[in-house]
Structure formats: C-alpha cells, structure tokens
Amino acid sequence: MNLYLDIPLHGSIRIVNSKNQSPNSRVLTDIINSNSPFVIQANNNIVIDKSFWKPVPNVIRYTFQYLGNNQFQRIQNSLNNNLIGNSNYPDMIFKQKNNNNKLIGFILESPHEDEYQHNFSSMIPIAPAQNLAATGGVIHNEINHVLISLSTLYPTHFSNGEMIDIVILNPIPYQTSLFHVHQKALKGPYVTLRNNIWKCNWNMQSIKNEFHSILNIFSTNDILINCCTSQLQPILHTWLQNTLSSNPPLLLRGHHPSTLRMRGRWYQTIN
C-alpha cells in the first residue's frame, strides 16, 4: 500500500524511505483506522488530503535589548494588535526585519501536535513551539541563558544598545508527523514516519525555495541556530552551509529544545 500527500501549491508526493519502501504496515493501518476526514483511500493508495496541509507561520517571539557586559533586557511588545491571538506566547508573524533589529533565529523541523487548534475535521495553524512543557517552555525558560552564552562566545556580534528579535522557524511549515491523523505518540515507527515525510517534503524544490526566501531576510549581523531534530539536522545543515547568501549570518548548531536529557541546560548545546 502507498501513502501520498496532496499538498496545495506543491503537488502530490509519495512517501518512501531511503530504500524506496512505503511506510510501516502498522502505521498505514493506524492511518486507515483513524477514520480521519483528511484520509482518502482508493485502491491500493492512501492520500492525505489537501485540507490537512495548513502551514504554520514563522514568528518573532521575543525582543531583547543588549545592555552590554552580557546583560539583556526583554522589551515588551508594543504592537499588541499584531500578535497571534491563540498563541501561548507573544508571537508576531515573521515576514521582514522589524526596525532593522538584529535577528537570532532558531530553526526547528516542522510543527507537531500543539501547533494547531484541531478538531476532527479542521486544522487551524497557531505558531511554532507551543508546548508549554517542552519546546516552547524550554525556549522561554532558557532564552536569557542562550543570549548570555552567545554574547560570551561571539562578542563581536553584539553591540551595546542594539535590539534583538528572537525568531522561531520551521523549514517545513506542515505537520509532518501526521499526529492529527493517527493520534499516536511520536515514538518508534511514528518517528520514522515523521522523518520520512519530512525528507520527502524537503526533497521538493518549491519547499526549499520558500524557506530560502525567509532566510534571505537574515544578514551578516544576524545569527541562525540549527536546532532541528538529530536525525534531520545534518541534512538541513549541509543545505544551509551551501545555500546562505554571500553575506551569511553566523550559523550555529544546537540540540532540539525538546531533548529530555538536556532540559535546564539546552542553552549549553548551542555553539
């Protein structure tokens, strides 16, 4: 049995692993048995319908001012009318530089369960990293430590008084885990499913082009941190190294914020 994704503006793709094999039969059975309205079954094919693929926007989450001597002060967002109303955080959609502020971008991989308001028949995008107890909470709790660490390691990238926007990005803006179809925890074969769907999406040039257009907003004064999950990070990092503009931002790596064993010291993985 074959699994296809019908993604608006990008077309239909078949999901396979590195050996060109279809997903695990147990996973396919769970998708069929979900009775999800997003699933269409015809002959020997399963199709995840166009109505499922709602992109989650990239966002500016916080703004800080650098006070010098490795000290930062968070600035309250005055543009409250532009905030994403259903987000757990003070998020604004990121489409361009805000008053030429420095950008520090954290690259994840793709939205998961908490990044949508979901009922049985609808997917309403919110924003990246919404989980208060995992990715979103870790970023919130450790962002000041991240900034102090960065200003210590890379002092020439920080100027007294400058404003800094914290940006959260997904190279794939769609839910590649299919959680709101099968409702299974991201473990075992469902991690493999997420990874294979992510890779098949990433192989589409139109997806890369969209993300590239976002990265073009970043320049030499800015910082990009690849925090994609470990199995996907090398793919993305090689592409970033080969693709960033002639005036590229400082490119770093870090663990994904949801990495359990790094809770409380996630910031130490960024370098």
Q: Each residue of 169-189: pLDDT tens digit?
A: 999 999 999 999 999 999 999
**Residue 241: its pLDDT value, please?**
95
Mean pLDDT lowest for which of 20-24, 62-66, 234-238? 20-24
**Residue 80: its pLDDT value, please?**
64
Say how far apart CA 258 and CA 137 lie, in whole Å: 9
Two structure tokens written together for 129? 């990293």
Q: State yes or no: pLDDT of 81 exceeds 70.
A: no
Query: Are the beta carbons of 68 and 216 closer than 8 angstroms?
Result: no
**Residue 185: its pLDDT value, please?**
94
SS3 67: strand
Query: Are the beta carbons of 176 and 135 closer than 8 angstroms?
Result: no
Say how far apart CA 140 and CA 128 lie, in whole Å: 13
Average pLDDT over residues 71-98: 88
Q: Rg for the chain (alpha carbons), in Å?
A: 19
Average pLDDT over residues 17-30: 92
Say how far apart CA 119 and CA 37 lie, in whole Å: 11
Two structure tokens written together for 124? 């309403």
Q: State yes or no: pLDDT of 262 exceeds 90.
A: no
Average pLDDT over residues 143-162: 97
Say how far apart CA 39 and CA 99 lie, in whole Å: 44
Q: State yes or no: pLDDT of 78 exceeds 70.
A: no
Say how far apart CA 200 and CA 126 lie, in whole Å: 24
Average pLDDT over residues 142-161: 97
Say how far apart CA 56 and CA 128 lie, in whole Å: 7
Could you tell me the pLDDT band of residue 247, with boundaries at 50, 70 and 90?
A: confident
Two structure tokens written together for 208? 């890369």
CB atoms within 10 A of CB 132: 13
Say how far apart CA 117 and CA 106 lie, in whole Å: 23
